[in-house]
Amino acid sequence: MPAIPTFHPAISLTEPIERSQNYLLSQQYTEGYWWAELESNVTMTAEVVMLHKIWGTDKARPMDKAEAYLRSQQRDRGGWELYYGDGGHLSTSIEAYMALRLLGVPSSDPALQRAKTFILEKGGISKSRIFTKIHLALVGCYDWSGVPSIPSWIMLLPDNFWFNIYELSSWARSSTVPLIIVCDRRPVYQFDSDFNLNELYSEGIENVRYQLPENNDWTDSFIWLDSGFKLAEQLNLVPFRDDGIRAAEQWILQRQEPSGDWGGIIPAMLNSLLALHCLNYDINDPFVERGMAAVDRFSTETENFYYTQACISPVWDTIWVLRALAESGLPANHPALVKGGEWLLDKQVMAYGDWAVKNRTGKPGGWSFEFDNQYYPDVDDAAAAVMALIELELPDEDRKWGAIAKCLDWIMTMQCRPGGWAAFDIDNDQEWLNDLPYSDLKASIDPNTADVTARVLEMAGELHNHSRKAHLNLERFSHQLDRGLAYLDAEQEPEGCWFGRWGVNYIYGTSGVLSALSVLDPKTRKTQIERGANWLRSCQNADGGWGESCHSYRDRKFMGVGTSTPSQTAWAIMGLLDAGKATGNFAWESLEWGINYLISQQDEAGKWHEDEFTGTGFPCHFYIKYHFYAQYFPLLALSRYDKLVELRK
């Protein structure tokens, strides 16, 4: 065990808990929800700059503040980061550079000179990701021949065919369908006859080979296939080309939310608006107007900056704030909790979405992540929403329990073949799709994962322990829960931890699974629980906290290794607490040092601060900093520890 600062076990947690409660209560919106910023890298802002330049709507937005924001995010080495502390990322830096040039910054600008040096050292444009090349092709800085073709006829493949668009993950699907139109039309928008980014080709513009990168393995067959698609396009021999484009257009229009969103994510919104531009929609068309308004709602303007979030998280934030406030001692019928709970009930998704294409038996009942996302409720939000609601005492308890019952039934129909649960779909697991040249982010599918499965099983355990469990008849799902537990057994790593798909990383995954196993099956899974708890103890930092870098997704040597953060420390504490309840073996010393770390990091306003990104979009390719993660998770950890200490007295 490393040397750790002295802990004072007699210290009262009442004051830190109350400070945190008061801060979170002060952040509630009048409608009842909580919502904080979801921070990612600068490509979202860069791509929105490009979007407005293409549509000619840039003059109506504060582009000077967008420039200031992009400049503020440049790092010392000249690049822009994918996540905090990575030193700079090639594709992210190229897109930031492109946006600054579109905003009129000359290539001679000192900031761009430093960026150019960084980009060239990393291999230049030719080494960037496919989506970056697509954006560059749109503004005439890359040739479309180096971008994969997406035949429009895939839109016409039936839902029961071995491959169709519903075999793509929800986020890939909502982003790819509009790109079918964009990549078919291959537009080039010239804003200045002299505009180019030739200086960013390491090999020199005269030596560029616009071709898909080869892997020297079986996946190169996709490159040969792509060559065939491109030849058919040149000879105008693509079957059902126009029919496929019309089908893609209708799919886009049908899936726009009344609020203007597509899929609840900026890539889908951006690509859909680009597709409509390619189809000559007018800026005043209602679909375009709503779409632009949605992009504006995802964007933030401050005194100095203008930037865009990849997604927004009001439902997710509200769920966790409700859980934290309720577990930390606020009465179950506290006015703030009642208002938040009723808002949450109103957000239950009772419409059939894309999930119903592969799930023919389920009836709606889940929750989504954003304000409006009827087509894509997700299992993680839904299970967490149930656990938040059971903590509350609402004026209409029958309505609450009816909503919980509908959600439980829906979730159980979303179980995948291996026994786990995925985020948005069932059996969305054709791994070959990640080997397509188009899929260099390796995020084209949505297979079941340990962390989402753990959330479902924890929910089932909490419902089982609740006084009204008989009304839900959980016994009818016993076989499914057993399959889920077996799936988690198989997913445990040799070190004893579990992979975290939607949070960074093994600390997140391990904490969630320990909570699930401890509440649902503590006796049978005692060995698995002890191994997971021992792993958490082994990676505690010298300051008493826990931290893990996003780099652990690329290199297992970084499992559980990183600068301590409040959110990851809270996850570890909660995992150890639940493991101790299950086995009777509490890691008191580790827990006390962890609590000491959280207390020492809280400020007078009741807040915690962390720079690190502890949320995951796509492992290795896209990360998120939830600005409320450092608030509600530490409150949960302090509260659960405090209750346990009270029981020891």
Query: Which of the residues are catalytic?
Result: 380
Classified as helix, coil or strand, 80 is strand
| Separation of alpha carbons 439 and 577, rounded Å | 40
3-state secondary structure 551-595: HHHCCHHHCCCCCCCHHHHHHHHHHHHHHHHHHCCCCHHHHHHHH
Q: In the sheet that 38-39 helps form, which strands lie side by side, from edge to edge?
A: 38-39, 622-626, 615-618
Helix segments in 413-496, DSSP class H? 450-464, 478-491
Q: Which two tokens stand for residue 474?
A: 């959980």
Can you tell me which residue has the tokens 């050292």? 121
| Separation of alpha carbons 637 and 633, rounded Å | 6
Evaluate whether 522 touches 488 at the Cβ level (below 8 Å): no
| Separation of alpha carbons 68 and 304, rounded Å | 7
Helix segments in 56-169, DSSP class H? 63-72, 90-102, 110-121, 130-138
| Number of helical (H) and strand (E) elements in the chain, helices listed first | 22, 5
| Separation of alpha carbons 538 and 649, rounded Å | 28
CA angle 55, 58, 61 (to 5 degrees): 135
- H/E stretch holding 39 reads strand 38-39
